[in-house]
Amino acid sequence: MTESVSLYTLKSLLEHPEFSERDYWYEQYYDANQVVFLEGDIGKNIYVILTGQVSVCTRVVLSENQQMLSGLCELFDGDEFAHSCFFDDEPHSATVKTVTECRLAVIDAVKLKQFLDNNPELGYRLLTHWIGIILPRIRQGNKRLSSLFSWGLKAHDIDSLF
């Protein structure tokens, strides 16, 4: 089977004849305002939004008795999330909640690894695609952290670290 040279996304992988539903993934329906997973949960699945919109947020502890959720981003049709479980067994670093009704493809990360081990050309293209998703998220996180650090220094009237 000849594959095109374009990047491969998880959404396009769902259409691959050997990556069959039930064997590697399943479709899950969520109502609006429903939690997909919580920050701190251990996950074994990667998600693709088939239809709908989700919000990714993290818990911010303001004091011992006060906390809030801070929105990180919104994701839409075709977007993917929870890639980290492909690489390690660490807990989710954010909560994902549906904004609208959603249909999600839920992909078993262990089975995905096995499939990609057997299809290394697809694996290379998928990992290249993921790097293109993850690097901008890291850069955006670094900018936010820097801005918050700067704000904190100004709020406490600190204009030098020495």
pLDDT tens profile 90-123: 999 999 999 999 999 999 999 999 999 999 999 9
d(CA 84, CA 101): 24
User: Which DSSP string corresponds to 109-147?
Assistant: HHHHHHHHHH-HHHHHHHHHHHHHHHHHHHHHHHHHHHH
pLDDT tens profile 42-65: 999 999 999 999 999 988 777 788
Q: So what's the architecture of 10-115 in CATH?
A: Sandwich (2.60)
Query: To which residue do tokens 């067994």 refer?
Result: 89
pLDDT tens profile 120-147: 999 999 999 999 988 988 898 888 778 8
What pTM, to 2 d.p., does this model score? 0.83
Q: Are 52 and 98 in contact (CB under 8 A)?
A: yes
